[in-house]
Amino acid sequence: MHQFPRTRMRRTRQAPWARDLVRETTLHAADLIWPLFVVEGENVVEPVGAMPGVERISIDVATERAREAADHGIPLVALFPNIDRSLRTEECAEAWNPDNLVCRATRAIRAAVPDIGIMEDVALDPYSATGHDGIVRGGRIVNDESVEALVRQALAQAEAGADVIGPSDMMDGRIGAIRDALEGAGHTDVMLLSYAAKYASSFYGPFREAVGADATLKGDKKTYQMDAGNADEAMREVAMDLAEGADMVMVKPGLAYLDICSRIKREFAVPTYAYQVSGEYAMIEAAAERGWIDREKAILESLVAFRRAGCDGILTYYALEVAKGLRG
Ligand code: PBG
């Protein structure tokens, strides 16, 4: 049908204005979710070794950064705590302490920056002596008891004022259990952004350092996170999470799983997000540091790829930097 030379594909590529005109996919600050690593203390800004440019910050600094994010059009920040080793136990009870670090951070940001959404991660790994996302009994990650703990954690987060709760633990049945508990407690407006298709991935390494779970983690997460070879299984995960009450779904990691993002968007037509994880960040940073790629172009290209694959937004460590550039 389209035949050369009547059709010359290069016509619409000939100048920047023409390329701008025909571009199918664009990126906006409103598409970005910004993760923040929170620690105790005041005025603390400490670097994360494997993520140059990313820092662990105290609540006061996190509040300032949330203000800055809102001012640049970022709709949602995601909080991840790095708590003292002494609070990491087998029972993970610090996860549902109403005064734990993320709950205090949520209240502080809510009070100072009312116009930004706040998301908290539901999973036990930052609170666990074994670094797992669930409760461990006799060397096994026990599902149903973990779900009870995750429900307690989610309720504490909702009480603290979280707008969005992101279960990233991959236990079976947790979305339904959390949704029912939220409804029962009157938190009818709290959104669930389910990490529906989360893969057991080598790309989480730098994050585990950031939250201090690299030192605690025993073994791997393959009995609950998904196998990299599976795609149909991801569709079943998404279908179940939606049926159980998820409002939005997440794919994680991002770039190596764009086919999953694309299938979810086509098959379910629901708000779909991807997490550009720590290892993806580290790869771009390391190659750029060596002068092997153009850092800024690589960042933007990777983020546009998520949008092209069908994602409504991206959780990315680059959110603030990119949002600033997009405005400028
Ligand atoms: C823990 C959690 C992980 C990430 C987000 N939440 C790590 C894991 O599953 O081990 C990874 C994020 C990243 O690598 O940037 N539930």
The per-residue pLDDT for range 249-299, each reduced to its tens digit, is: 999 999 999 999 999 999 999 999 999 999 999 999 999 999 999 999 999
Strand partners, 242: none
Please, are residues 220 and 166 in contact by the beta-carbon 8 Å criterion? Answer: no
> What does the alpha-carbon distance between residue 67 and residue 60 come to, in Å, rounded to a whole number?
11
Decide if 198 is catalytic: yes
pLDDT > 70 fraction of the chain, expressed in percent and rounded: 99
Confidence category of residue 233, pLDDT binned at 50, 70, 90: very high
Q: pLDDT for 45-75, tens place per residue?
A: 999 999 999 999 999 999 999 999 999 999 9
Confidence category of residue 301, pLDDT binned at 50, 70, 90: very high
Which of the residue ranges 16-30, 198-212, 272-286 would you say has the lowest mean pLDDT? 198-212
Q: Which atom of ligand 1 lies at the shortest distance from residue 169's CA?
A: 16
Please, are residues 317 and 55 in contact by the beta-carbon 8 Å criterion? Answer: no
Residue 318 is classified by DSSP as T
Q: Which atom of ligand 1 lies at the shortest distance from residue 203's CA?
A: 14
CATH number of this structure's domain 26-327, picked from the four choices 3.40.50.970, 3.40.50.620, 3.20.20.70, 3.40.640.10 = 3.20.20.70
Question: Who lines ligand 1 at CB under 6 A?
Answer: 121, 123, 125, 133, 168-169, 204, 207-208, 221, 277-278
Mean pLDDT of the chain: 97
> What does the alpha-carbon distance between residue 249 and residue 45 come to, in Å, rounded to a whole number?
31
Residue 30 is classified by DSSP as G
Residue whose entry in the numeric block shows the structure tokens 């949520």: 106
Q: Where are the domains of the chain?
A: 26-327
Please, are residues 108 and 165 in contact by the beta-carbon 8 Å criterion? Answer: no
